[in-house]
Amino acid sequence: MKYTYVQCDLNGKILKEFHTFSEFVTWKEEEENKTMSKYVRQRGSKKLKNGDIVINYHCCRSGMYKPKGKGIKRLKSQGSAKIGISCPAVIKVRHSTENVVVQYFPKHQNHETQLEHLRISESDRTAIAGMDEIEEKNSHAADDVSKIIIGDVRSDVVKVIDTDGTFSSSPNLEDIREIQSNFAKQRNWEQYHQPRNLLFALVGEVGELAELFQWRGEVKEGLPDWTEEDKEHLSQELSDVLLYLIRLSEKCHIDLPAAVLKKISMNAEKYPVLEVWGSDKKYIKYEDSS
């Protein structure tokens, strides 16, 4: 792993530069093990206008303890990991297409190092796909102090079929793009994930998706006539299509969420409500008649 760094004496800041996000994750974990500390995200990442992604990792002891649920269960015997005030130790990350630049403030204040308050290392968890937040689950405690991350969610915990037709609020498309990008980098698959290859893979997945509907006749909303196994299979094929679509958009440098909003706006102009209400005609039919 190669990186450069500069020590700034005035405020104790350390500057580091990594070639990939995976290199940063490796360094972060090594630093946490060495200093017996843990840095976590307190909120989501922020995408700048130039496309760079900014992520801040704070000391896990920093902040106020917020009890979960109705407060019926008692706090852990060792107490909360939160110290009630801020700890200045922080890792500020700026991730661009060229590199990962890190500002590291390693000095902790207002608390001692206590092993019982440290969270499990990412390397000890499975299916993380490069993400950096960990779910600390303890059935005997109420302070579930970190949120569930995508990539570390068990299939028996998350309901993906027979919903009310709405989607989860997270992850968003940028979260999925980052997860999938890290997943590919960790496996050295970047060399294969070029636009043409991704397009053919996407078409193949659409074909597999279509096979699930073949010879079924009319399919009702909610799939009431499908088995649980068929619905689960469908959810996986839909996921494959979405993953390849997002990956293709990334490699073509297309901001997919922004493109979708723009397309919806264009469609609204093509299909005025008063002219198309209840009709299945294509927009050129309305243009010809106007």
Mean pLDDT of 270-275: 84
pLDDT of residue 108: 81
Would the pLDDT of 54 be above 80?
yes
Q: Are strands 100-105 and 14-18 parallel, antiparallel or unpaired?
A: antiparallel
Q: What secondary structure letter does DSSP report for 100?
A: E
Query: What's the token pair of residue 176?
Result: 């999925």
Would the pLDDT of 136 be above 60?
no
Cis peptide before 195 (omega within 30 of 0): no
- Min mean pLDDT across 57-66, 90-99, 169-178, 237-246 is at 57-66
Query: What's the token pair of residue 183?
Result: 């997943």
Give the number of other CB atoms < 10 A from CB of residue 204: 13
Determine the Cα–Cα distance for residues 141 and 266; give it in Å rounded to an integer: 51
| Segment 9-51, tens digit of pLDDT | 456 788 899 988 888 888 888 888 888 888 888 787 888 888 8
Q: What is the phi-psi region of residue 89: left when phi exceeds 0, alpha when psi lies from -120 to 50, beta otherwise?
A: beta
Determine the Cα–Cα distance for residues 26 and 219; give it in Å rounded to an integer: 48
pLDDT of residue 82: 61
Of the ranges 35-49, 121-135, 143-157, 227-241, which is most confident? 227-241
pLDDT of residue 135: 35
Determine the Cα–Cα distance for residues 68 and 135; give it in Å rounded to an integer: 14
The percentage of the chain sitting over the pLDDT mark of 70, rounded to a whole number, equals 69
Determine the Cα–Cα distance for residues 31 and 192; give it in Å rounded to an integer: 32
Q: How confident is the model at residue 254 (pLDDT cuts 50, 70, 90)?
A: very high
Mean pLDDT of 110-118: 55
Q: Which of 136, 173, 160 is nearest to 228 (CA)?
A: 160
Would the pLDDT of 219 be above 70?
yes
Query: What's the token pair of residue 28?
Result: 């972060």
* The one-letter amino acid at 161: I
Mean pLDDT of 55-76: 64
Contact between 57 and 132 (Cβ < 8 Å)? yes
Would the pLDDT of 61 be above 90?
no
Rg (CA), the chain: 24
Would the pLDDT of 121 be above 70?
no
SS3 content of the chain, % helix, strand, coil (to 5): 35, 10, 50
pLDDT of residue 150: 35
pLDDT of residue 162: 72
pLDDT of residue 102: 92
Q: How confident is the model at residue 246 (pLDDT cuts 50, 70, 90)?
A: very high
**Bridge partner list, 18:** 3, 100
Contact between 193 and 247 (Cβ < 8 Å)? yes
pLDDT of residue 67: 54
pLDDT of residue 262: 93
Contact between 269 and 290 (Cβ < 8 Å)? no
Contacts 24+ apart (CB under 8 A), 45-50: 45/174, 45/175, 45/178, 47/174, 50/96
pLDDT of residue 29: 86
| Segment 199-213, tens digit of pLDDT | 999 999 999 999 999
| 201 phi and psi angles, rounded to 5 deg | -65, -40
Q: How confident is the model at residue 169 (pLDDT cuts 50, 70, 90)?
A: confident
Residue 209's contacts (CB-CB under 8 Å, 6 or more residues apart) are 234, 237, 238, 240, 241
**Bridge partner list, 3:** 18
Contact between 267 and 259 (Cβ < 8 Å)? no
- Nearest 10 degrees: Cα torsion 114, 41, 123, 30: -60
Q: Which of 125, 91, 71 is nearest to 21 (CA)?
A: 91
